[in-house]
Amino acid sequence: MPGIKGPSDYSQPPRHPCLQINSKEPFNAEPPRSALVSSYVTPVDLFYKRNHGPIPVVDDIERYCTDITGLIQTPKKLYMRDIRMLPKYNVTAILRCAGNRRTAMSKTQKVSGVGWDVSAIGNAVWGGAKLADVLELVGIPKLTNSTKSGGKHVEFVSVDKCRVEENGGPYKASIPLSQATNPEADVLLAYEMNGEPLNRDHGYPLRVIVPGVIGARSVKWLDSINIIAEECQSFFVQKDYKMFPPSVDWDIIYWSTRRPQMDFPIQSVICSLEEVQSIKPGKKQLVDMQRLEGAEESRE
Ligand SMILES: Nc1nc2c(c(=O)[nH]1)N[C@H]1C(S)=C(S)[C@@H](COP(=O)(O)O)O[C@H]1N2
Ligand SMILES: [Mo]
């Protein structure tokens, strides 16, 4: 794709030293819990970073564009200037990785994936154009009560080279057309995060933000938007981000028996305290503790 490329090396943009790194290549990191409650909007440098491949590089922003193709009459190339010409919306929305708190879950059952603590979640103000407005440019009307979108989906394709995809292909995901064309669903093609241009980690120059569903659908470094007849068939939609009962063996999984996860259950966690490892007292400490207890008693 002109203007942007998905490299195969993991050269790193600078990052905040407080991040807890869960995996270096690809880079996956989360902030300490205090970052989630110290401000309503999570600062960009402390926002969790979730990647499946190396971070793409923009070499020519003027040439960068997103292709809109698939089941439409006239495919279109959308340059940054075209997107900026559409009305700009600022949407405050949380992004949460479906794998958040997997470390806690893995204490009671076998699960696979990056070991996240509690902070693969953040709240940001995303600035950009509404996907519903963008799709109108290629002749797809906005959702009304009488719209029939059938089972069609809108697929978002990136440029990053992901190991798990066949032939190291790009990250891809889709959402139903009815959600994409609904202006009230606030699905954005975002170019800003907290009032600044997106940085490389979070999808520069353009990413999708789908409020209210798992972060995996908010595709970063957007390369193309395809209107397709049914849900995207990528690894990330069909063979990942699905929930199975504890009885399921990860080595013999029938992926098609579960729908891709979209929305998520509500959970809560205390963030004003950090979890620390409790140390079992050694023999000497036990004797000291008993002495102390004895001292308490003799005082009474
Ligand atoms: N191109 C691309 N988009 C992607 C991903 C990715 O690896 N590649 N990861 C997804 C997942 S699983 C999550 S949770 C969010 C994380 O966004 P963030 O890194 O900006 O926090 O991006 C999503 N979009
Ligand atoms: Mo995620």
Q: What is the pLDDT of residues 5-64, one digit of tens each?
A: 999 999 888 999 999 999 999 999 999 999 999 999 999 999 999 999 999 999 999 999
User: What is the distance in A from the centroid of ligand 2 to the CA of 52?
Assistant: 9
Helix, strand, coil content of the chain in percent (nearest 5)? 20, 20, 55
Predicted confidence at residue 146, as pLDDT, reads 77
% of the chain surpassing 70 pLDDT? 92
User: Is residue 48 a part of any domain in this protein?
Assistant: no
> Would residue 211 count as lying in a domain?
yes
pLDDT one-digit tens code per residue, 116-174: 999 999 999 999 999 999 999 999 999 987 777 788 999 999 999 998 887 888 999 99
Q: Is residue 193 within 8 Å of residue 44, measured between CB atoms?
A: yes
The atom number, within ligand 1, closest to the CA of 48 reads: 21
Q: What are phi and psi of 227, to 5 degrees?
A: -90, 120
| Cα dihedral across residues 157, 160, 162, 167: positive or negative | positive
**292 pLDDT exceeds 70?**
no
Query: Does residue 51 form part of some domain?
Result: no
Q: Confirm or reject: Cβ of 28 under 6 Å from ligand 1.
A: no
Residues 40, 123 contacting (CB under 8 angstroms): yes
pLDDT of res. 167: 81
Mean pLDDT score, 204-226: 98
Q: How far is CA 217 from the centre of its chain?
A: 7
What proportion of the chain, given as a percentage, has pLDDT over 90?
72
For residue 98, what pLDDT is reported?
Answer: 94
In a domain, 293, yes or no: yes
116 lines ligand 1 (CB under 6 A): no
Specify the residue with its C-alpha closest to ligand 1, atom 4. Answer: 219
Q: Which two tokens stand for residue 97?
A: 């990785």
Q: What is the number of domains present in the chain?
A: 1
Which has more pLDDT, 264 or 96?
96
Q: Confidence class of residue 205 from pLDDT cuts 50, 70 and 90?
A: very high
* CB 52 near ligand 1, within 6 Å: yes
Please report, for residues 36, 182, 191, the alpha-carbon distance to residue 47 in angstroms, rounded to integers and kept in the order given.
9, 28, 16
Closest atom of ligand 1 relative to the 162 alpha carbon: 7
Residue 175 has pLDDT above 90, yes or no: yes
User: Which one of 102-106, 195-199, 264-268 scores highest in mean pLDDT?
Assistant: 195-199
Predicted confidence (pLDDT) at residue 258 exceeds the cutoff of 50: yes
Which residue owns the Cα nearest ligand 1 atom 20? 202
Confidence of residue 298 (pLDDT cuts 50, 70, 90): very low
Q: Is residue 228 part of a domain?
A: yes
Model confidence, pTM:
0.91
User: Which domain CATH number covers 273?
Assistant: 3.90.420.10
Q: What is the spatial distance between Cα 273 and Cα 106, in angstroms, rounded to a whole number? A: 21
State yes or no: pLDDT of 257 exceeds 60: yes
- Is residue 228 helix, strand or coil? strand
Structure tokens at 9: 């090396």
Whole-number pLDDT of residue 300:
36
CB of 160 closer than 6 angstroms to any ligand 1 atom = yes
At 122, is the secondary structure helix, strand, or coil?
strand
The parent domain of residue 252 ranges over 57-92+124-299
